[in-house]
Each structure stands twice: as C-alpha cells, then as structure tokens.
C-alpha cells in the first residue's frame, strides 16, 4: 500500500463508525422483525460491513451508488439518514420513498443512493447511465455499482461491463463475494475461479481483495475511484466476504457448512477492526464505546420515529405512477 | 381424504411425473436438495430421489435456464424450469416468447417445445414493486404458449401433470401467499385438462370469474352475497390461455351478469379479453355491462395499507356484484 | 406544405429536440454516422451535427442500452434509446418494466425516468416470426409507461417531440412498411399531445379505431364504405397508453357501432381493452357488440400469402363494418 | 498440427465441396433477389465459407447445430438439402418449414439443424439444452452454437458459456468474427481484444484461429469436438473471417474501409483453398470444375423446384401454433 492510499485516523475512525452502525442496525433489524414490530423481507448484510464502509470513505455525498436488496450496509455507509430509512422499512409516509418502495427499493438522491433493486444484476446497467451523465457533465462524480457473486453470472453483468469499458465510464463495479447466491454455493454456479478474472474480458482492471480487510479495501477503492475520476474508466473489484446469516430473514442456512460459518463469524471484521484501531492508537476504548452508545441511541430514535409516523394515504396508489396523476 | 397444501400438491405432481416418465427433468435456481430443494422447498426431495442429473440447480441466469429447457426439450426431454418469481421472466422473455412459443410454428411443425415454466408471484407479502407482479396477460397475448394458474392443491397437482404432459410450452403460475393453503389431496395421476374451468359454486344472479388467489376472495364474496340473498356463480378459470369460453358463456347466458377478477392491474389485463368476448357473444343476454376488477394501476406498493388496498378483495367483489344487481 | 416521409419526420423531431435541449441524447445500435445513422438512416446526420458524445452507437446489448438510458436520465438527461426492432425489447424487459416504469413510484416520486424508447416493427417485409411483432399491449398493461404509435409524418414528429418532453418513459413504436409513406410536413416545434386521438374522418354509422399502419388500411376501408353509402368515422388513436377514451366514447355514442383494428394478435390485445371500456360505458347506446380485428393468432409467418393474410387489411375492415351494419 | 488432426484427401475435398456450394449458392441467392425472382431478407455469408465447412467435416449427421440469420453456410455445410432450403426461401409448402419460417428460421432436424434464430445471442442458451440432452442420454453427440462477434457482447453469450462450463456440456461455441456487427466495427462494440480471451471467464479453453484457413479451422474443431465428445466440456472458438457483402442484401457498406474490404476479397478463401488442393495433389482442376458444374446444376434444379412448388394454404396460419389446432 502506498502512502497515498493509507487512510489517516479520522478516516479510519469514520470507517469504523460506518461499520459499527451497520452491525448495530442489522442486529436491531433482526430483533425488530423477530419481535413482530415490523414485517418486511430482510436480507442481512452482517459480515459484509467493511466493503461499503471503506469504499464510502473515498466517496463524496454527490457520488452515486446503485445497490441491491441486501444493500442496507451500502446505503448506511453512503449516508442515508437512519430515520428516513427506518420509516421506509416501516412503510411510513416519512420514509425515503413515502413507504412505497420498501427495503428493496430504498432511494435517497441526497446521499447519492439512486437505485436499489431486487432484480439480480440490474444495478450495473443503470450505474453505467449515471456514470455516463457524469462523463457528459464532467462533474467528476463516480458511480459505484454493488452486486453479489451470483449476479456475476447473469447477462446484465456482461453487457454492463462491456459497455462501461468501451465508453470508458467513471464507474466502479464492486462484487461483494459472500460465497453464496441464495442457497447455492459459489462453485456450483460460477465457472470462473475468481470473478475478478472476468475483468479481462472487458480489458478492465480487475482485482480480488479481502473485503473484510479495511486497509486493503480502502486502497483498492481509492485506486479504482481515482481512476474513474481521472477519466481512466471502470474497474471491477471482487471483495471477498461472508454472509453471517441466511439469505433472507427466516432462512435457516441448512445448506451451509457449520464449520465454515463458525469460522467466518469468529473472524468477525467489526470487532477485529475495532481492536486494531485501539491497538494502533487511532481510538480509545471509551471513545468507541461512546460512539457505539450514540449509534444505539440513534437507531432507537429512528425506530421510534418510524413507528410513530403515519402510513401513507391510500390515494398514494395513484400518485407517482406518472408525473401527472391520472384522473 | 386428507388435506395437503398447494406447495405439497406441486411437489407431488413433480414426484409422480418424474416417476412416471424418465424424460421429465427439473432445473432452476436452488432446486436441488443440496440447495434445500428451493428457497421454499417446493422441489424438496426430488434430486435425492431422482439424481442431480435430472434435478439441476442452476446459476442465476434465467436466459440460460429457459434456453437449456428449450434445447433439452428439442432433444426429447420434458423439462420443468423454475423461474423463481414471475418478475424474473422479464430477463428471459426472448427465450420464452421468441423461441419457446414460436419454434413449432416457425419450423413448420418439425420441432416442438414441451416445457413447463413454473413461476410464483402475488402481492401480500410486502415484497414490493419488483417481486409481486401478475404478468399472465403478456403470455396469453403470445401465440404458442399456454398459461395456467391453479387455486387449490388438487388443481395445482392436476394442472401441473397436464402441463408436463402437454406437447407445448406452458406457464404454470403459483401464488406465494396461498402456498400453504390446504385443500383436498388429489389422487395420484389426477389430471385437470388445460382449458377447462371449474364451477366452484352454482348460482343464478351473477357470474364471478376468477383464478389463483382471487378465487379465495371470490369464495368469501359469494358467501357474503348468499347471506344477502344473492345467488352468485363462481367460476375458477384455472387456465387463462386457452380459457374456457364455453363454461363462462354458458354461465353468463344464465345469469346475465358477470364480474371478472384478477390480481394483475386492470387496464389491458385478462379481464379485458374476457369482458370483450362475453360482450361479443352475449350482447343481448347481458343485463348489465361486464365488470372488471383488477389491481390498482400502479406498481405493487410496499407499505402495508397500500398493499392491502392494491388487489381486489372479497369486499370489493361483493360490492361489485351488489352494484351490478342494483 | 411540402410532403415528407415518416422516417424524415422522426429524424427532424430528433434534430429539433437536440437543438432545443442540450440534455437530449441518442443511443442505440448503429445510430451514429460512422455507422450510417442507423441501418435505415433514421438517425442520419445527428452525430455529425451534435457529436458522438450525444449520439452514441452501442454494442448489441439491449439491457445495457436501456439501463444506460435509465441511468443517464436519473442524472438529468433526456435520452432517446433505439431498440432496433420491437421483438428485441424481449431482452430488455426487465430494464423497461421493472425499472424504467417503476422507479418514480418505488422512490416515492424522488426520481423519474424521462426516457423515450424508439422501436420499429410490422409485418409485410417478409421478416418472419422474430422481427415483426406488435407488443404494445404488454407495455400498456404496465403501470408507469406510456405507449404511442404514429401513422403519419406529422404525428410522428409531434408525438416524438411530446415523448421527449414527457417526464415519464414512453415507448415510441415505428412501423417498417410505412417508413417511406409520405404526408404533410409538420411545422417545426409541432407537438401532438400524448393521449389525444385524431379524428381522421367524421362519420355517423360506425366508428373505426385504429393506429399505426392500420390507419392506412382503415382509410381505404372508409373510402370503400363511403362508396357503398356507409358513413364511417375513423379515429387514429395515436396514443395507446393512455388512450383517448373521451374521443372514442363520444364517437361511439354517436355511431352506436365500433370496430377496433390492430396488427397485434387479437386475444388479449389492445382491442380487448378498448372493447371492454366501450361496452362498460356505452352499454345502452351500442347497437351491436364492438368488433375486434387483429392479426391471426400465430407467430408472424414468412411465406408471402400467409403474411398477406396475417394482419387485417382494408377488405377485412370493410367487411367487418358491413356485417355490423347488416 | 498433429497427424491426428490432419485431414485426408477425401475430407479435404469434402470441405472444398461444401465451400464451393456455399459460394455458388450465395452468388445465386443475390442474383435471384436482384432479378426480383424472390423477395426475402438475405444475410450473405460470403467470405465465411471455411468455418462451417471445416467444422462439419468433424461432425456426424446426428450432431446438432444452432445457427443464426446469416447461417446459410452453416446449414449447407451441415447437409440441409438444397431443394428443401430453396423452397423455404421461396416460402413454399415444400420448404423445410412449409414456408412458415423463412430464411431466418431454417430448421431441418434430419441434418441436425435444430434452431436458426434471428435474435442476436440466442443460439447459445438453446445449444446448451441440446448438449444437455446428449449428456443425459450419453449419445456422444456434440452441439455447435454458431454466432457472430457482435453477439459476444450480449447477455445470453455470458449466461450460456457459464452454464455450459459449470455443467461440462458437450457444446462448442463458434464465434464467426467477421469484424462487423451490422454497421458497427468490432472495436467500437467489443472491449476484449480477442473474443477467445473471454473463455477464461468460464474456465473454458478458448482459441482464436484464422477461420479462413481450412487446416487450422479443421484442427481446432477436431480438438474441441473431440473434447466435447469425450465429456471434457465446452470450448470457445473464435474464427477470424470477413464479411464480403453488406450486413443484409441492399446494404451498401458505406461504413467499411474500401481497402480493407478489397484486401479481404482479394484473399478470398474459396479460390485460395481450391488452388491449394490442386497444388498439393488432392484434386485436379478438371475434377473440381466438374464438381462446381454439378453444384451449379443442383442449385438450378433446387430453384426451379422451389419456384414450381405451391405456396402453403392460408389454413396454415392456425396450424403448428399448438400441437392441436385451435377450433
Ligand atoms: C433476475 C433474478 N433472478 C433471481 C432472483 C432471486 N434472487 C434474489 S437474491 C438471489 C441471490 C443473489 O446472489 P448474489 O448475487 O451472490 O448476492 P447476495 O444475495 O449473496 O448478496 C437470487 C437468486 C432475483 N432477485 N433476480
Ligand atoms: C437482440 C438483438 N438485437 C439486435 C438485433 C439486430 N441485429 C441483427 S444482426 C446484428 C449484428 C450481429 O452481428 P454479429 O453478431 O457480429 O453477427 P454477423 O451479422 O456479423 O454475422 C444486429 C445488431 C438482433 N437481431 N437481435
Ligand atoms: Mg452472494
Ligand atoms: Mg459480425
């Protein structure tokens, strides 16, 4: 790692704050569903905290991301406010999308979260278009397309990476390889030993990194985002990680090797990075504990706010279908 | 006879079809047992019993799934391909519409595509705008493909067996919220002919045509109407393409009034076709215009009260019937 | 005023829109001038005039094309994406239906997708089963997307300008066999409002509703009917979603009889929707049931006599009108 | 080239016969359209004769191919009878498809031509299924999926190659790289320097060959088909060639460099291989001239047969939509 790509203390602590927020938010989400306070399909990103946290530390508010049903971590790392998010999860009119989109379709342009999609592979072609708009305007923005390992086998991945390369778009394709696509193991679905190797098909830099390693992820993102901003085109980053929970809330994970899962959970990147920060003098235990308490309070507040908010009016069914409401 | 769920009915139909005919295959995301026999277990036990060469989990690649199904059917097999949710047919429309539906015609009858595409959908589970659409009208508007949508375990079994027997492609639509709805178990080998409706309840005042989950709502409506002294005839269409014109027309000839109910949005939906045909054929027998009841014209909303108001329910059907009779 | 072709009308609309608004972009296969401005030259001259950054030829990758259009529109632009033939929308249905049509609603109105998808189709050029389908009913059945299909150069110009102005996604359907049909040139800046039909000819005995190439066939039929003393009113729908209910209902209120003509197959086609709505609204005013005239229910055949018999023609429309009046 | 992959005289002359047939048939097709005897969309394969001719020399009648709108050469090389083909082009009831399919949808299971498609990319996913049927039956058949360079950028390509590799299917993907996709040059659409390199994304052997060189094409096909038959899975072959005429009959080729085109035509593979055969003593000038005359006569006969055949009855519109004709 060059010095250029070595983050300073503020940045490192900022990354940790994102990670801690994602972890705490996930734990609360599962509890809130378990206790029946909310009903929603929930795709836990637990275990994948590092990736968007380290990437977002290289992004501005005005940079764009397109993410997927699992992307709560990507959204939080990019800055979607907790209250707006929770109100959306609760289907309330105060939510990011007035409750009409729900967890799989969080949109929050103010923080650059332009599209959240439930269709595997579809974040990538749209990310290209956002990147094209930046290329046209010369506004220096970068677009991140998040997707999973399973999504690297669908047609949209191929079409999008090819176009991005031919048009030299300022986009970074970030594959969060958590080894599973629903219940199917990586090897059973994916013919490439490494997804990063697929970048060669598009004459695009491709790199596989340990997506649970903050410094490695930060550096790879820094390089790729820098390339994009400089007009040097797209990059494919394959960030290795592991999904701690079932594909969707309620999935008991019977298909997974318990040993593999236990090992991954034992190597939980969040406490690991926390310890590293303290060990390397970037933060004190008390500071981090205070930060975590603050996060917990914010989440509490957001949930209370969400659950106290109104549901949208039934009339919303005919609004936002078109610009002008049909008579 | 013991009760089983729709999900079990589907599973049994697959088991019995695979048992009866070695050429029956299954493919789709997560369908084999190492992958739990599907995210909801619909295909559970099949790969263990029949082998992973006959029950294959696939990559997430719906064009590849339907393409493989088409090709293997050209090679003499009868594949049942699962497209997990109906909205995901949108990434495989070329394979379904330009190929599966057309190869028989374009080859002048030399090749045919005896595939079944099982897919699932339905509002009510808070899955939002990209996971709950009913798109049956698209396929019904495509020459060369059949479409069925059962509403109970026995029909699910019988229609799936018929779909697998069928020498042409069939879209078999399952409904998520009623997967665990129980009903009478079919006898092994039971068939429901494609294109044949089921008169669930006879009546004289108004005909209600429905399919899939809407049959449950319509059943409740019919009971409420009976309590009000209205005798409604309920037809479970079961097959959408082809649909049972004879049964529907005979019923409306008798009642003079009809309501068509579906969960897809109303405009340009299957209700429009059925309404048009009823009007064309029973212009003089009709006492009132046919009513169409479909979902609100918007993407499926997430928020619970919006989702609850999205698709027709028993109350809406009852109200429509009452207004027709007013 | 001088005559121009539909193709020229489209080209001019693009030129004028790009001239008027820097945010208008064009993308699609072969659309730039090094690629001849499209295989038929519809976009000829544009990249030379406005630059290849605004008029971009793409790889053959319709998901990538529509995806890029959606994304760039979220970034503030107004792209016009060309999907060369309507059958190729089948490989981009996810992008069109699950994304372009739904993002405004699913985002609660925060984002919108002001894109135009230009596409071309039509039987009559011996292109066979995979190049000639009319699929407008699919899109009309999708909440969040508009569909238009002009029949003459002036409407082509005016509708395309309106489609580009529109803040929501619009499918703009062109017809191959009439690309070179001439008609009055529009004034620069002309707009045809989306959702507004054109009464091509007034009449009292029967209403004929048509769009795209079928307007030409209907025009011939109307003339033949006039010669027989039948006064037919011809409505060029122009917009299919939303369609002009007011105009159609007012006309049928007057005539008491209606025929809906389109080139798509009849079952579950747009004619079914229009028929259903007419019956619902004019139950007592109708003198006879609405007739639907669509293509034979099969894939588009290659062989010349089959293709000639596939879609409705003037004679079939005339015969339908005569039978309605008999 | 090993001895194993060196074809003998009979094979070489057989390959030439296919090439001569394709060339003569193309010339007649263009003439027949030009003179208005037939109306059809016609995608000339002229210049690409070697590829299917050398490949088919490694195939049995029972092996399958899936090809595209341009694939007249692929069909003829695989053995579709001229009369049936021409009758189809003429839309007659005696055609392969009773006139209902036309040039873009020639199907002739007897010679293994299972699917001809007009949708870019779609030959590949279907070819996988045919190959799967062979794998299940253990019938030793191989399926060839033909497609163009432009098609290597569409989603179906990616999905199909990945599945074929994961399932180890007996299929060979043959990309006929003629440097153009309609009016768009290879480089403007395709981000990989070589399409063959894309095979690495699927852990599949990928080879770029001179598709105008008979011996090289024969050898590559021999290896790939052998691998498939032996159960060793799929191969991607990128066969370099050049399209002598416009994309479709009537396209004036304004977008092409006249020099490049002239050079390609000057290197016409058909006379080149003809000369090579004579030079190496595999055939005499008189033999080949006689063969060519025979081919010409066969084509004449086929066209006459086609044009003398009946058109299908209008009732055919409702036949073959489903197995049972709708009432
Ligand atoms: C086109 C499409 N096919 C299938 C699905 C169902 N599905 C939802 S998530 C998923 C697994 C995706 O795996 P991966 O891309 O690895 O992302 P992860 O969920 O592991 O984050 C599948 C198959 C879908 N949403 N879209
Ligand atoms: C999905 C799809 N998009 C666009 C087209 C229009 N089209 C027909 S052929 C062609 C070019 C294909 O180029 P290539 O794959 O290189 O094959 P070639 O024609 O050169 O043999 C295109 C764009 C199509 N048929 N299908
Ligand atoms: Mg994954
Ligand atoms: Mg090419």
Tens digits of residue pLDDT in C285-297:
999 999 999 999 9
β-pair partners for B209: B235, B260
Residue D113, SS3 per DSSP: strand
Give the per-residue pLDDT at D326.
75
Which of chain C's residues have a Cβ under 8 Å away from the Cβ of B144?
298-299
Token pair 């007013």 is found at B326
Paired tokens of B151: 């509403």
- C-alpha separations of B53 from B26, B50, B83, B177, C154 in Å: 9, 8, 19, 31, 59
Q: What is the pLDDT of residues B265-292, one digit of tens each?
A: 999 999 999 999 999 999 999 999 999 9
Taking CA atoms, what residue in D is nearest to B103?
D115
Taking residues B307-311, what's their average pLDDT? 98
Residue B326 has a pLDDT of 87
Cβ(D35)–Cβ(D249) below 8 Å = no
Terminal Cα distance for chain C, rounded: 41
The pLDDT value recorded for residue A3 is 55
CA distances from B180 to A34, B17, B230 (A): 21, 22, 31
CA atoms within 13 A on the CB side of C260: 28
Please name the member of D131, D134, D160 whose beta carbon is closest to the beta carbon of B64. D160
Q: Is D252 helix (H, G, I), strand (E, B) or coil?
A: coil
D60-78 confidence digits (pLDDT tens): 999 999 999 999 999 999 9
Beta strands in B122-201 (DSSP E): 146-148, 170-175, 182-184, 198-201
Q: Which stretches of chain C drop beneath a pLDDT of 70?
A: 1
Identify whether the C-beta of residue D245 lies closer than 8 Å to the C-beta of residue D28: no
Is C29 catalytic? The answer is no
Q: How many CB atoms lie within 10 A of CB A203?
A: 15
Chain D's closest residue to C63, CA to CA, is D155
Residue found under tokens 């060979």: D172
> Which residue among C61, C301, C304 places its CB closest to the CB of D153?
C61
D-chain residue closest to A206, CA distance: D201
- What is the reported pLDDT for A5? 72
Give the three-state DSSP class for D141: coil
Query: Is C112 at the interface with chain B, CB within 8 A?
Result: no
Q: What is the pLDDT of residues B41-93, one digit of tens each?
A: 999 999 999 999 999 999 999 999 999 999 999 999 999 999 999 999 999 99
What torsion do the CA atoms of C276, B296, B213, B169 make, to the nearest 10 degrees? 60
User: Are the Cβ atoms of A160 and C63 closer than 8 angstroms?
Assistant: yes
Task: Give, for B64, the enclosing helix (H) or strand (E).
Answer: helix B62-74
Helix (H) or strand (E) holding C63: helix C62-74
CA atoms within a 13 Å half-sphere pointing along the CA-CB vector of C27: 32
Q: Which residues contact B313 (CB under 8 A, 6 or more apart)?
A: B217
Distance to chain D for C5, nearest Cα, Å:
20
Pairwise CA distance, residues A156 & A172, whole Å: 15
pLDDT of residue A2: 53
Helix-helix angle A155-166:D155-166, to 10 degrees: 130
**Per-residue model confidence (pLDDT) at position A1:** 47
Give me the count of residues in chain B: 326
| C108 CA → ligand 2 middle, Å | 38
The Å distance, Cα D121 to ligand 2 centre, comes to: 8
CA of residue D263 relative to chain centroid, distance: 23
User: Is the overall model pTM greater than 0.95, yes or no?
Assistant: yes
How far is Cα of residue A30 from the mean position of the Cα atoms in its chain? 18
Active site includes C131?
A: yes
Residues 6+ apart with CB under 8 A from B19: none
CA atoms within 13 A on the CB side of B135: 27
Crossing angle of helices B153-165 and B6-20, in 10° steps, is 30
Residue stretches of chain D with pLDDT short of 70: 1-4, 327
| Residue B42: C-alpha distances to residues B33, B171, D28 (Å) | 11, 16, 56
Closest by Cα among D33, D132, D26 to D73 = D26
Provide the edge-to-edge strand list for the sheet that holds B198-201. B198-201, B232-236, B206-210, B258-265, B291-295
| Distance in angstroms (rounded) separating the CA atoms of residues D173 and D127 | 9
* Contact check, Cβ <8 Å, D251/C29: no
CB neighbours of residue A209 within 10 Å: 22
CA atoms within 13 Å, Cβ hemisphere of D309 = 26
pLDDT > 60? residue B1: no
| Mean pLDDT of successive 10-residue stretches along chain A, which has 327 residues | 76 98 98 94 97 98 98 98 98 98 98 98 98 98 98 98 98 98 97 98 98 98 98 98 95 92 96 98 97 98 98 98 88
Task: Report which ligand 2 atom has the smallest distance to the Cα of C131.
Answer: 25
Distance from residue B66's CA to the centre of ligand 1 (Å):
17
- Closest Cα partner for A217 from A66, A10, A15? A15
**Residues of chain A contacting residue B309, judged by C-beta atoms under 8 Å apart:** 314, 317
Return the ∠ at Cα A30 (arms to A28 and A35), rounded to 5°: 95
- Give me the interface pTM, i.e. the ipTM: 0.98
Question: Cα separations (Å) of B49 from B32, B233, D74?
Answer: 10, 43, 41
Chain C positions touching D91 (Cβ under 8 A) are 126, 302-306
Contacting D with CB below 8 Å, chain B residues are 25, 53-54, 56, 58-59, 61, 63-64, 66-77, 79, 91, 94-95, 98-99, 103-112, 143-144, 146, 166-168, 242
Cβ(B5)–Cβ(B181) under 8 Å?
A: yes
Element at A171 (helix H, strand E)? strand A171-177
Q: Degrees (nearest 5) of the Cα angle D129, D134, D138? A: 150
Closest CA relative to residue B113, chosen from D114, C267, C90, D136: D114
The DSSP string of D28-86 is: HHHHHHHTTS--------TT--HHHHHHHTT--TTSEEEEETTTHHHHHHHT--HHHHH
Bridge partners of C27? C56, C81
- Residue pairs between chains B and C whose CB atoms are closer than 8 Å: 144
Tokens for D165, please give them.
Answer: 């590799």
Helix residue ranges, H only, chain A? 9-34, 50-56, 72-78, 82-89, 123-137, 155-166, 186-189, 214-229, 258-266, 269-279, 285-308
Q: Alpha carbon of C42 to those of A181, C15, C152, C174, D259: distances in Å?
A: 43, 11, 15, 11, 27
Residue A258's φ and ψ, nearest 5 degrees, are -60, -35
pLDDT tens readout for residues B182-238 = 999 999 999 999 999 999 999 999 999 999 999 999 999 999 999 999 999 999 999
* Chain position carrying tokens 């699932």: B120
Say if residues B257 and B325 touch (Cβ distance below 8 Å): yes
Nearest to B150 by CA among B290, B27, B315, B7: B7
pLDDT of residue C2: 78
- Using the mean position of ligand 4's atoms as its centre, give its distance from the Cα of residue D116 in Å: 16
Task: Say if CB D135 and CB D109 are below 8 A apart.
Answer: no
Rounded Cα gap, residues D108 and B207, in angstroms: 49
Q: Does D322 touch chain B (CB under 8 A)?
A: yes
Q: Residue B154 is encoded by which pair of tokens?
A: 């026995």
């Amino acid at each position: 790692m060059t010095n250029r790509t070595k983050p300073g203390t503020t940045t490192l602590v900022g990354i940790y704050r994102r990670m801690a927020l994602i972890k705490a938010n996930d734990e609360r989400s599962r509890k809130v569903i378990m206790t029946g306070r909310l009903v929603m399909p929930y795709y836990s990103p637990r275990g994948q905290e590092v990736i968007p946290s380290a990437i977002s530390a290289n992004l501005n508010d005005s940079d764009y991301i397109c993410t997927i049903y699992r992307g709560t971590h990507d959204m939080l790392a990019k800055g979607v406010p907790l209250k707006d998010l929770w109100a959306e999860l609760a289907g309330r009119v105060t939510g990011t999308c007035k409750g009409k989109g729900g967890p799989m379709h969080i949109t929050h342009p103010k923080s650059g979260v332009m599209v959240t999609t439930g269709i595997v592979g579809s974040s990538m072609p749209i990310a290209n278009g956002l990147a094209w708009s930046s290329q046209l305007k010369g506004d220096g923005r970068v677009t991140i397309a998040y997707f999973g390992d399973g999504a690297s086998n669908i047609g949209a991945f191929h079409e999008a990476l090819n176009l991005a390369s031919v048009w030299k778009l300022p986009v970074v394709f970030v594959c969060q390889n958590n080894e599973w696509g629903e219940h199917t193991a990586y090897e059973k679905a994916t013919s490439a030993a490494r997804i990063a190797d697929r970048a060669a098909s598009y004459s695009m830099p491709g790199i596989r990194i340990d997506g649970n390693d903050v410094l490695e992820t930060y550096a790879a993102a820094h390089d790729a985002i820098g390339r994009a901003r400089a007009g040097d085109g797209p990059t494919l980053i394959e960030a290795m990680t592991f999904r701690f929970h079932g594909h969707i809330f309620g999935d008991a994970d019977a298909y997974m090797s318990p040993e593999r899962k236990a090992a991954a959970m034992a190597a939980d990147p969040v406490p690991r990075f926390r310890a590293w920060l303290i060990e390397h003098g970037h933060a004190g235990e008390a500071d981090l504990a205070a930060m975590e308490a603050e996060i917990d309070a914010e989440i509490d507040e957001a949930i209370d706010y969400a659950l106290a908010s109104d549901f949208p009016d039934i009339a919303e069914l005919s609004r936002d279908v078109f610009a002008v409401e049909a008579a | 006879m013991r009760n089983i769920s729709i999900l079990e009915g589907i599973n049994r139909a697959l088991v019995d079809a695979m048992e009866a005919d070695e050429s029956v295959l299954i493919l789709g995301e997560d369908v084999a047992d190492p992958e739990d026999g599907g995210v909801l277990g619909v295909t559970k036990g099949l790969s263990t019993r029949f082998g992973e060469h006959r029950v294959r989990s696939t990559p997430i690649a719906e064009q590849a799934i339907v393409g493989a199904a088409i090709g293997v059917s050209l090679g003499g097999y009868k594949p049942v391909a699962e497209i997990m949710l109906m909205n995901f047919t949108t990434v495989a429309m070329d394979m379904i519409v330009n190929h599966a539906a057309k190869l028989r015609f374009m080859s002048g009858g030399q090749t045919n595509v005896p595939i079944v595409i099982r897919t699932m959908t339905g509002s009510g589970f808070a899955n939002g705008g990209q996971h709950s659409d009913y798109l049956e009208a698209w396929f019904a508007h495509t020459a060369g493909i059949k479409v069925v949508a059962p509403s109970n375990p026995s029909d699910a079994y019988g229609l799936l067996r018929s779909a697998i027997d069928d020498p042409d492609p069939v879209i078999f639509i399952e409904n998520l919220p009623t997967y665990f709805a129980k009903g009478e178990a079919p006898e092994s080998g039971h068939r429901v002919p494609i294109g044949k409706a089921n008169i669930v309840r006879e009546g004289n005042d108004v005909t209600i045509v429905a399919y899939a989950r809407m049959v449950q709502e319509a059943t409740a409506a019919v009971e409420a109407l009976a309590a009000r002294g209205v005798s409604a005839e309920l037809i479970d269409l079961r097959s959408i393409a082809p649909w049972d014109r004879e049964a529907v027309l005979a019923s409306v000839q008798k009642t003079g009034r009809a309501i068509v109910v579906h969960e897809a949005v109303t405009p340009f939906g299957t209700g429009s076709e059925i309404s048009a045909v009823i009007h064309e054929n029973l212009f003089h027998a009709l006492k009132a215009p046919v009513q169409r009841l479909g979902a609100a014209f918007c993407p499926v909303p997430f928020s619970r009260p919006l989702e609850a108001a999205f698709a027709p329910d028993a109350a809406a059907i009852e109200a429509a019937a009452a207004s027709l009779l007013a």
